[in-house]
C-alpha cells in the first residue's frame, strides 16, 4: 500500500508501524487514523508483535489543529468523528498481538492515547510526555480511559490538569512507561528478543483474558465520544484553537 501518513515494515511476525507526518509535527488527522486501521485489518491476524514508532524528535503531538484551522478558514463545517480514533486505540489495547510503543522525543495530547493503549511502553531517556488539552478549554476524553488503566485515576488526573510535560523517568515512576534507557533502540531489541518466542495462540488467549478483566475500556467508549463531540462543537473552544494557530497565543492571552 502507498500510505501517506504512516510507514509500514514487516519482519517475520513483527509489524513496525511508524506514524509519519514530519511536516505536521506528527499530528493526528483522519487519514492517519484510517491508514492505521487499514494496517491492522491487513496484518493483525498474522503478526504477534506490533511496534508503534514516531519520529526521532516527536512521537506524536496530538490532534492536527492546523488542519482544523484550515477547514474553518474555508468555511467548511466538518464534524469530528472521535469514535474512529477510540476504536483504533481499543484495537491496540485488545487486538490479537502485543503492542509496543517505542517513544522518542515529545508525545502530547492524543499521542498519549497511542502510548496508553499499548501493552508495553519503551522510551528514550530524553522523551517528554504531556496532556495540553485543558489549556484550550477541552480535555482528553478519549485518552483518559486508557491512561487511567495504565496510571490510575490520581496520576492521570494530575497529568491532565497540570498540562505540563513530564520526563521519561517520571513517566516510568508513574506507570506510563515500562522501561527507558539512553538508547531506546537497544532497549527495544532486548524486549523483542524476549517476546519473539511467544506463540500467536498464547497471545490471543492472554489478550482476550486481560481485556475481560478490565471491561471499562469498552464501556467508556460512548461517554468519551460524546464528551469529545460536545467540546469540539463549542464555538468558544474552536475560536481559541483558531486564534492559537494564527497568532501563537493561548486562549487566555
- Note whether 27 and 62 are within 8 A (CB): yes
Please state whether 26 falls in left (phi above 0), alpha (psi between -120 and 50) or beta. Answer: left
Distances (CA, A) of 42 to 39, 45, 179, 218: 5, 8, 30, 23
Look up cell 508483535; give the residue.
49
Please tell me what DSSP assigns to residue 18. Answer: E
H/E run at residue 121: strand 120-124
Counting runs of H as helices and runs of E as strands, what totals does the chain give?
12, 10
From 119, 124, 133, 178, active-site residue:
133
Question: Which residue of the set 35, 53, 64, 124 is catalytic?
Answer: 64
Residue 133 is a catalytic residue: yes
**Residues annotated as catalytic (active site), given as ranges:** 64, 133
Amino acid at each position: 500500500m502507498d500510505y501517506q501518513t504512516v510507514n509500514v515494515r514487516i519482519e517475520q511476525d513483527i509489524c513496525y508501524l511508524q506514524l509519519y507526518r514530519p511536516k505536521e509535527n506528527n499530528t493526528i488527522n483522519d487519514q492517519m487514523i484510517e491508514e492505521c486501521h487499514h494496517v491492522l485489518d491487513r496484518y493483525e491476524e498474522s503478526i504477534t508483535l506490533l511496534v508503534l514508532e514516531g519520529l526521532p524528535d516527536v512521537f506524536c503531538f496530538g490532534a492536527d489543529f492546523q488542519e482544523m484551522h484550515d477547514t474553518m478558514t474555508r468555511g467548511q463545517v466538518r464534524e469530528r468523528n472521535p469514535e474512529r480514533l477510540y476504536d483504533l486505540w481499543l484495537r491496540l489495547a485488545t487486538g490479537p498481538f502485543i503492542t509496543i510503543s517505542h517513544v522518542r522525543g515529545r508525545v502530547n495530547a492524543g499521542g498519549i492515547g497511542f502510548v496508553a493503549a499499548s501493552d508495553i511502553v519503551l522510551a528514550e531517556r530524553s522523551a517528554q510526555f504531556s496532556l495540553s488539552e485543558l489549556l484550550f478549554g477541552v480535555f482528553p476524553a478519549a485518552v483518559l480511559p486508557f491512561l487511567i488503566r495504565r496510571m490510575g485515576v490520581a496520576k492521570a488526573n494530575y497529568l491532565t490538569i497540570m498540562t505540563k510535560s513530564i520526563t521519561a523517568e517520571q513517566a516510568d515512576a508513574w506507570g506510563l512507561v515500562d522501561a527507558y534507557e539512553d538508547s531506546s533502540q537497544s532497549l527495544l531489541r532486548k524486549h523483542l528478543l524476549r517476546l519473539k518466542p511467544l506463540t500467536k495462540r498464547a497471545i490471543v488467549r492472554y489478550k482476550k483474558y486481560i481485556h475481560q478483566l478490565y471491561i471499562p475500556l469498552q464501556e467508556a467508549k460512548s461517554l468519551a465520544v460524546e464528551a469529545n463531540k460536545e467540546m469540539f462543537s463549542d464555538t468558544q473552544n474552536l475560536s481559541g484553537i483558531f486564534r492559537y494557530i494564527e497568532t501563537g497565543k493561548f486562549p487566555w492571552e
